Chain A
Amino acid sequence: MNAPSGVPPFMAAWLEAQQALVRLAGAALAPPVASVVPQSFADAYRPLFAMPGFPAPAAGANTAAPDTSLWRYQQAAERVGKLLADAAADAGRRLGAALAADGPDAPPITSLRELQTLWIDCGEAAWSAAAHREEFAQAQAELLSAWVALRVAGQAG
């Protein structure tokens, strides 16, 4: 289920959030296979780290000629996409570790709301770690420049 185009931003974000929560609940209720669950968590994080307005090209779509603005955009989107996927995987690992934690600082989670809070905290921690890196700033800036170049090229016909 994707958010229909034209819906107000808050509605689109709510739909996304609800979908993510459903995915998260599904992953949390699945058999706790350690190697599978963190990946499910990472998959739930991934779309929430995506940058609005910068759709990634479809997988395998990197077919433009190397000297075109489209190729540049594809390269930039791929690079950012890789960093976002890494951040999502890190978030998934953090959540997996937090759920496996024991002791007085790790009380049982008995509701989806508690799980969501933990999920968000782990996601933000992973995002912050990734977003503060110079490599990320560089990749993000290149994506913006590539998008601008693509737009200019499109206007030029």
Chain B
Amino acid sequence: MTRLALDQAAVAAEMAEFTSRMALATQQLATMDVPPDGCSARVEVHRQDKTVLWRYARTAPDAGLPPLVICYALVNRPYMLDLQPDRSLIRGLLARGLDVYLVDWGYPDRNDSALSLDDYVNRYLGACIDHVRREHGIPSVNLLGVCQGGTMAICHAALHPDRVRNLVTMVTPVDFHTDDNLLSKWAQKLDVDGIVDALGNVPGGLLNAAFVALMPLRLTVRKYAGLADIARDRGALENFLRMERWIHDSPDQAGTAFRQFIRDFFQENRLVRGGLEIGGQAVDPRRINCPILNVYAKLDHLVPPSSSRPLGGLVASSDYTPFEFDGGHIGIYVGRNAQELLPQNIAQWLNSR
């Protein structure tokens, strides 16, 4: 033990300080509340079952671009994109004159267990895009898919290439069988039929536990012990609470769609290997020939870059732009450097097409 140079008195003092700070932090947190719906002004413009399409109020002169429809994942809630005024991709896009819409899938309950990927990708997302097309009198929209929502956006663009003018994917899994994809390694062994047959819907808490288990010490011990460092900073504690609220706000997953996603994507990797069908129609990424901006995060532990990068090789688009963000899966939404960089890049890229 050559490196240990701990002094007992110093350790005791450090522990006392740590305990005192943690007590203060938890006292402070107990007095706080944070809204679960994001921070930017918006109105509901379309609703179908539990799916809601929100339109955000622009905060800058119109950039003159086709509206941007954001398709979020079925896992977790989309307010991560608008978490707080100084950490909001949506605000950044609005500030650049974009007309932003957000698809919110809501919280599936047991009545929704039969919802399939066809419902989500074709029916709900399709209806949202149709609403925007009608409202603006345009044939196609700009579509931005986030994480699993990016995979769904790719599928939609492949099935309905005429409806998508430009496609932006963010931290989106494409190749589910890359060697560093731990979540995929675990999912490949799941008896998803047995689980869905028994449970109907898959509890969000179960998925959350799996996400935390990817890096159990960093995502629990390090994160929570870090509260001691911000115990006297109310703003930082509010940020912490917002993030915690989002992390633990995990909708259950409609069983049928979950079964299809695990089987077709995680287990059989059909987007890459071929043979993917949604609603009885073949999903062939080679039908996508619109410009694509593929944003992925260099340090992403959930969707490693190796999973996102192959998109360029699967599509017919000659206009394909990869963009590697120097951060992780969460940092791409809320990291300080992301706030300027990401909306700026997306707006600029869209503007030049």
State the A residues within 8 Å of B (CB): 9-11, 13-14, 16-18, 20-22, 25, 28-29, 32, 37, 48-49, 51-53, 98-102, 106-113, 115-117, 119-120, 123-124, 127-128, 131-132, 134, 137-138, 140-141, 144-145, 148-149, 151-152
Contact = CB atoms under 8 A, between A and B. Distances in A.
B6 A109 contact: yes
Interface size class of B (residues with CB under 8 A): 35 or more
A112 B221 contact: no
Contacts of A134: 185, 189
A14 B186 contact: no
Contact of A25 (B1, B15, B182): B15
B3 interface: yes
Contacts of A53: 205-206, 209
Given A111-B10, A116-B221, A116-B225, A144 B195 contact: yes
Interface string B221-245: 1111101000000000000000010
A120 B248 contact: no
A70 to B, nearest CB: 16
A34 to B, nearest CB: 8
Chain B CB count within 10 A is highest, among A21, A116, A140, A144, for A144
A49 B216 contact: yes
Nearest to B195: A148
A120 B222 contact: yes
Contacts of A13: 220-221, 223-224
Interface in B209-267: 209, 212-218, 220-225, 227, 244, 248
B14 A112 contact: yes
Contact of B6 (A21, A110, A137): A110
A124 B218 contact: yes
Interface string B1-31: 1111111101100110011001000100100
A119 B221 CA distance: 10
Contact of A106 (B3, B206, B213): B3
Given A32-B1, A113-B14, A124 B217 contact: yes
